[in-house]
C-alpha cells in the first residue's frame, strides 16, 4: 500500500493547478489517498488496542502471581509492564499520525474543491 501511496502522490505532484481537468483529477487521486490512509489508520488503531491489551495482561498477571501489599504488587507490575507501555505509546503515536494525515487530506481535498470552483468561475467569466 505504501508503494501505491507514493505513486499517487507522484501523479498528484505532476498535475497542474491551472487546468480544470487536472485539478479534478488531483481531487480524485486525493480521494484514493484518503482511502489508503484510512486503512493505515484502522491498522494502527488495531495495533494500539493490541498493545494496550498486552500491557494490561502483563500488569494483571504480575499482580495476580505475586504476594505482598497492594503497593508492592502495583510497583512490581509497573516495572514488568514498562516495555509494554513503551510499545503501547509507540502504537498510539502511530495511530494519531495516521488520524492526523487523514484529517489533513480531507482538508486538502476541500481546499482543492474550492480552488476548482474559483478556477471554473475564472474560465466562465
Q: What is the mean pLDDT of residues 44-66?
A: 97
Statement: residue 125 has pLDDT above 80: no
Q: What is the mean pLDDT of residues 51-79?
A: 96
Q: What is the mean pLDDT of residues 86-107?
A: 98
Residue 100's pLDDT band (cuts 50, 70, 90): very high
Residue 1's pLDDT band (cuts 50, 70, 90): confident
Judged by phi (left if over 0) then psi (alpha if -120 to 50, else beta), residue 10 lies in alpha
Q: How far apart are CA 18 and CA 8, in angstroms?
A: 19
Is 33 in contact with 8 (CB distance < 8 Å)? yes
Residue 2's pLDDT band (cuts 50, 70, 90): confident
Average pLDDT, the chain: 96
Residue 101: the pLDDT is 97
Chain segment 72-90, per-residue pLDDT in tens: 999 999 999 999 999 999 9
Distance between terminal CA atoms of the chain?
Answer: 42
pTM for the full predicted model: 0.86
Amino acid at each position: 500500500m505504501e508503494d501505491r501511496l507514493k505513486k499517487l502522490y507522484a501523479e498528484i505532484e505532476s498535475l497542474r493547478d491551472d487546468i480544470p481537468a487536472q485539478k479534478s483529477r488531483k481531487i480524485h487521486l486525493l480521494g484514493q489517498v484518503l482511502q489508503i490512509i484510512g486503512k493505515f489508520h484502522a491498522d494502527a488503531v488495531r495495533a494500539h488496542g493490541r498493545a494496550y491489551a498486552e500491557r494490561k495482561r502483563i500488569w494483571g498477571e504480575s499482580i495476580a502471581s505475586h504476594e505482598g501489599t497492594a503497593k508492592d504488587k502495583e510497583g512490581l507490575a509497573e516495572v514488568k509492564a514498562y516495555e509494554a507501555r513503551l510499545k503501547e505509546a509507540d502504537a498510539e503515536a502511530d495511530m494519531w499520525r495516521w488520524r492526523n494525515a487523514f484529517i489533513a487530506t480531507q482538508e486538502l481535498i476541500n481546499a482543492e474543491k474550492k480552488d476548482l470552483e474559483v478556477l471554473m468561475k475564472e474560465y466562465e467569466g
